Structure 1
């Protein structure tokens, strides 16, 4: 035994020695990110915290660094951008690394394209005037961070302002013939979903002509204005007049309005109460694009605010010949293309062209003359997330392009727009949408909050009914868990849209888990759908959404060429006709609700950029009542107002004092009555009466003047005891109702 121990010991030592010699060397930790510092007035070349660079200096310094991540940290303050900060392939992450442009810890850097306007002088009429720097054309003015409004006048009906391909009449009646400088003014025209803004070129007698190509592109006859069936040009039958003329000194009559005079190069402002332009910070957007990423990859933009970027095209002779969703028709000639291939997107504060793995995160976009972000020209695998968009003249995010079958390098794929907050956009160009996507594949639009928008909220797809839209790159898009509220705002007069809107065949596309509330709420006509599967929309699944308080259908798929669309398991307080097209189905949807069940509330409250309470529906006492009316016109019985479907209507014959009423089945306390009009036979000048007895001897009455809305809300204060609710005509015509709800 003794002779064995040394052998064993030697063996152990040998093994240990072998293990020691075979162990790999410990790898050195990879270097941390190289941090470069930039400041608003930085001019150093070290890009250190002590000697920061300008943003362009930091960009140039970053190009010399290899083998590690790079962080360009922007110090607090406003960076006055006179030309775009351009980043391309040379400014991208290399070798698996990332370049990040970000706010320094605790900082709030703002890239601003604004120019200050000072030297204000007070005029005798209470207005103030200042000279404008050369090269600046003020379309927007911000006074201490508050948007001013270009001076505007009243509407001019088509009978007076009769539009043709040559121009329009109405110079005498509107007073334009007597304006000092009418050629500085614009006509703002809204025809269904389109908005037009064209500058006056001349006035002769009662006739007004407009700058071209704007007026040419706004009129019929070019073969370039959209689908051949389209009838929404300024000279079409759907034109109902000028919404308003704007930017004339003679129109400056409301506090908060301003006028730009291009000949004198001055701006004149009528202050709001408490404002003094001489002591205020007055800015106008001047630089059009603040940051352009062209061919960049593996690059992040984080925590930076973009403000006061301009959008120059509408101030030129191109004007703003709107087509849909904020895109415009430009140029004097071009290929005949009814599918809209050649339309122009609005200028954006941040533009990404041909990007790969580009991320925009926790950014801010505010006080802009155009759009927020554009991802285009084949951008792939890129994201816009957790960012804030507010007070934008145009839309917030534009993704993709209008070519249905682009070359693979130009195809938009696997992009994402998620957890953003979009409020109060489309301020000036009211046909713009919150989030727009053209011909995209595998796009994710997820958990965004969109509210207070003039037209549609989210729009995915393009091409209308043209053959190109039937077989394009559109596929596998996901519109999920978004919160879309208070869109299609009726005061902006934009029609035929929806909270979520699609076009084109999109195999594999899903619309699910979204909460939609108040689309076109309070309109006078049927408009403002919840989920609108419009032209050519096909192969789309609509599932598990919550949709309430809508001006029209909760889901709309009216066209026969929309195929294989399926709506399943949704919750809504109204109803809609069956989906059109081959193979489309509706199943297991909970419609006509007057209370949202707990599972629907849970879906609604999870939707959006952050958890938020949903609007619970109010109990409807009339839902199971008995409806009668004074007479019936055709096949429009009284019960249609109680069927939970705002697309079916009651209708009386035209007779003095015509009425509709519901017996609640017992005396109940009534606090509010909702009256939803029949849009084709709008009830006007009526009384809502509550009574305990059928003879209405003790009726409490509320009078409503003018047209009923969708809905008109009639309040009864603390409530009134009633069994019978009657809507009685006090004017002329007939009673026509789509829906009546009675709330305790």
Structure 2
């Protein structure tokens, strides 16, 4: 080979090295950066390759594909599971362990295929109903007859059916309650006891039709103060009009009393109204159809799985599940079985679990997801969860609550749950099986952000923060509750509740720029903002609170809380309350506007409590009466409070119709009030998303009717 040929060869090699090698390197990097994409489809097969033409069939199949891929290839970059639209019947929950996660550079993403909606159901479709001579649908379930399969929820044509109950509307009322102590125990409440409920003839008439073969299924639901108790019956004595149950002794601070409200459910004689169902002990399912429903084309689903997603990391031993993202997925039809012991009183329904349960999870996110038709809570970040986000997700039609953070017992170190962000979600229509559940519950958990959510249509509380009663140390600190829309809470069912409820030492917690309205309790309570036992170091500012029962604000007892620059409007009984007198500074109440048309301005221990209260504005749109805890404004000022406050029209544009924009800001400058943006709260984004957050007019009207009836009894 001559020199020219050698030079040419070298030149060509250099060109290859300069141009081709970088391209190959870039392609390799791109593969590593983009990772692997696998596909899941309703017509797939979990034994397939997971390609778009040969998709897998389930989330579990996708998880197992990733496990096998990691075993054979090691961690080779991010993995995206693209899931085609359609319905998926889950035969088991998706369970993720530490090895199923990813990393910041290589996350694992379970994601809906573009513009498609995959729906994962934990239920079983039922078919083959016959119509009996009464027009009632009947179906013999062999699994129930021979294997004792039972379920406590049922869904017909996309709606939660009503378990047969009596009375159909309202309540029976207890004539007398007797407790026979069996095991005293060491706590304030008796450990084990028998309870005997007596009824007058009119109330007991609802129970006379209970057949002996149905007795083992019958349950009672008794509502008392902020709680409810569910029990199976031990004995029904029709001669004496008495019902016998057993369980934990009644808590002395919240017992079931004479005159208490109660319903009975789950027996054949109560099956008497369209939309009700009952499964008897012989495995026969009965359903009374709603108008227009026909068995040949109805979709009837009984929930089977207790959970749909389980994330099980081990934070304490450095083995969390990390960097997993769920996007665009819907989960529904998740069962919660009533235990044989029923349900003992439990504030915030913390005794039940969730459709999606997480423990030891870091950066495990849910975006654009939906969870609905559950027997329990929607989603729970338990111990050892951090730095995770639920965003733009729709949680609704829930047997329990929406999102729960932390646990009922405190954990230290990495097992302490913190830094969870709940942002721009719709959390609505919950507590349908367990009415004490709440929209968002923060137990022993800190540094969380709850922002721009729409939380509505719950029976107890919208957002609950803290889980220590009194001044013992609490690690529920620095939580931020901002720009939320919280509304239609209470429904006159329970008492001692609020839209935003706090407990314990919560230094650094901020509750601001929320819009709160339509909060109504059965008896006492029904507040907008409620600092309960030991609430400490909380700032509540720039909130609009209107149309509550007993006040925009109430403090039971606490220390060094700040209530400033809020608008409290149109509570029906009192505008603001406080209760316990303590030796320390309880709270500062500054630069607030209170506007009303009835009831007292202040009620409680205002003259005795240690507070700083000034530069507030009060205005009665219904007349000239101003009741400051039984005193005139001038008499109230003699206690040293409100020295620079004003009785003055704040110049809202149309407060009677809940328009609290200012027609003029000149007046409010006199108290140093700083206007805040009333349009900034709640969900945001596309119009369809904002429209979805609006409760149907039928629900709004029903709430108003319940409030009217309740107030007529006061």
Q: Same fold (TM over 0.5)?
A: yes
- 2:373–2:396 CA contact under 8 A, matched in 1: yes
Q: Does 1:398 align with 2:378?
A: no
| 2:247 equivalent among 216, 222, 243 | 216
Deviations, residues 279-308 of structure 1 (Å, cap 9, x unaligned) = 211111111101111112110011110100
Tell me the equivalent position of 1:124: 133
Contact (CA 8 Å) 1:380, 1:412: kept in 2 or not? yes
- C-alpha deviation, 1:712, in angstroms: 7.9
Does residue 1:254 correspond to 2:277, yes or no? no
Displacement, 1:553?
2.0
Partner of 2:322: 297
Secondary structure at 1:472's aligned position in 2? Answer: coil
User: Structure 2 length as normaliser, TM-score?
Assistant: 0.73
Question: Match of 2:391?
Answer: 385
What is the alpha-carbon distance in structure 2 between the residues aligned to residue 190 and residue 712 of structure 1? 18
For the 8 Å contact 2:620–2:626, the answer to whether it is kept is no
Q: For 1:271-350, list aligned pairs within 5 A.
A: 271-295=289-313, 296-312=321-337, 314=338, 316-327=339-350, 344=351, 346-350=352-356
In 2, Cα distance between the equivalents of 1:307 and 1:494?
Answer: 27
Q: Is the 8 A contact 1:37 1:49 kept in 2?
A: yes
CA distance in 2, matches of 1:456, 1:198: 23
1:137 is aligned to 150
- Structure 1: unaligned runs, 5 residues or longer: 1-16, 328-343, 596-618, 629-634, 644-670, 673-707, 715-730, 737-744
Q: Distance in 1 between matches of 2:131 and 2:83?
A: 39
1:241 shift after superposition: 2.9
Task: Pick from 218, 224, 234 the counterpart of residue 191 of structure 1.
Answer: 224
Aligned length in residues: 559
Match of 2:96 in 1: 87
* Compared CA separation, residues 208 and 376, structure 1 to 2 (3 A): farther
Return the alpha-carbon distance in structure 2 between the equivalents of residues 585 and 170 of structure 1: 45
Aligned residue for 2:514? 514
Instruction: Name which of 210, 213, 221 aligns with 1:179.
Output: 210
- Specify the alignment match of 1:478 in structure 2: 480
TM-aligned CA deviation for residue 423 of structure 1: 1.4
Q: What SS does the aligned partner of 1:401 have?
A: coil
Alpha-carbon distance change, 393 to 627 in structure 1, aligned in 2, over 3 angstroms: closer
The aligned residue for residue 444 of structure 1 is 449
Structure 1 stretch 578-587 or stretch 289-298: which is displaced more?
578-587
- 3-state DSSP of counterpart to 1:182: helix
Match runs of 1:454-465 below 5 Å: 454-465=459-470
Post-superposition shift, 1:183? 2.0
Instruction: State which of 562, 565, 568 in structure 1 corresponds to 2:561.
Output: 565
Rounded to whole Å, the distance in 2 between the matches of 1:530 and 1:558 is: 13
The CA distance in 1 between the partners of 2:242 and 2:90, in whole Å, is 39
- CA–CA distance in structure 2, aligned partners of residues 233 and 508 of structure 1: 35
Which residue of structure 2 lines up, in the alignment, with residue 537 of structure 1? 535
From the superposition, tell whether residues 412 and 502 of structure 1 become closer, same or farther in structure 2 (CA, over 3 Å).
same
Q: Secondary structure, in 3 states, of the residue corresponding to 2:30?
A: coil
Q: Does 1:487 align with 2:510?
A: no
- Give CA-to-partner distance per residue, 1:439-481, whole Å, 9 cap, x none: 101011111101111110011111223x6xx212221111111
Cα 1:385–1:552, aligned 2, differ >3 Å: closer, same or farther?
same
Distance 1:639 1:474, change over 3 A: closer
> Secondary structure, in 3 states, of the residue corresponding to 1:276?
coil
- After TM superposition, the structure 1 = structure 2 runs for residues 354-369 of structure 1, keeping only pairs within 5 Å, are 354-369=360-375
SS at match of 1:90: helix
> What secondary structure does 1:279 align onto?
coil
Task: Report what 2:547 is aligned to.
Answer: 549
SS in 1 for 2:279: strand
1:477/1:510 contact within 8 Å kept: yes
SS in 1 for 2:56: coil
Contact 1:199–1:210 under 8 Å retained in 2 = no
Structure 2: which 5+ runs fail to align?
1-13, 181-192, 314-320, 598-618, 638-655, 658-704
Which residue number in structure 2 is paired with residue 723 of structure 1?
Answer: none
Q: Residue 202 in 1 paired to residue 232 in 2?
A: no
Superposed counterparts of 1:161-180, under 5 Å: 165-170=193-198, 173=201, 174-175=204-205, 176=207, 178-180=209-211
Structure-1 separation of matches of 2:469 and 2:117: 43
Q: Quote the Cα distance in structure 1 between the aligned partners of 2:254 and 2:576.
A: 26
- For 1:195 and 1:293, the matched residues in 2 are separated by 30
Query: Match for residue 84 of structure 2?
Result: 75
Cα distance between partner residues in 1 of 2:375 and 2:563:
38
Tell me by how many angstroms 1:347 deviates. 2.4
Contact 1:571 1:589 in 2 (8 A): no
Q: Residues 31-50 of structure 1 correspond to what in structure 2 (within 5 A)?
A: 31=31, 32-43=34-45, 44-50=47-53
Distance change in 2, residues 1:57/1:712 (3 Å): closer
Question: Aligned partners of 2:596, 2:243: CA distance in 1, in Å?
Answer: 53
Q: 1:341 maps to what in 2? A: none
Q: Deviations over 1:11-65 (max 9, x none)?
A: xxxxxx9xx99xx978634321311111234214210111111322211121224
Residue in structure 1 matched with residue 681 of structure 2 by the alignment:
none
Distance 1:318 1:383 in 2: 36
RMSD over equivalenced CA pairs, Å:
3.3
SS in 2 for 1:566: strand
Instruction: Report the Cα offset of residue 172 of structure 1.
Output: 8.8
In structure 1, the residue matched to 2:679 is none
Residue 67 of structure 1 and its aligned partner are, at CA, apart by: 2.6
**Quick check: 54-63 or 171-180, which moved more?**
171-180
Q: Paired residue for 1:376?
A: 382
TM-score when normalising by structure 1:
0.70
Q: Give, in angstroms, the shift of residue 437 of structure 1.
A: 1.2
**Distance (Å, rounded) in 2 between the aligned partners of 1:391 and 1:277:** 23
The reply on whether 1:421 has 2:426 as its aligned counterpart is yes
Q: Deviations over 1:708-728 (max 9, x none)?
A: 9976899xxxxxxxxxxxxxx
Would the alpha carbon gap of residues 350 and 712 (structure 1) be closer, same or farther in structure 2, given more than 3 Å must change? closer
State the match for 2:62 in structure 1.
58
Q: Name the CA shift for 1:505/1:46 in 2 (closer, same or farther; >3 Å).
A: same
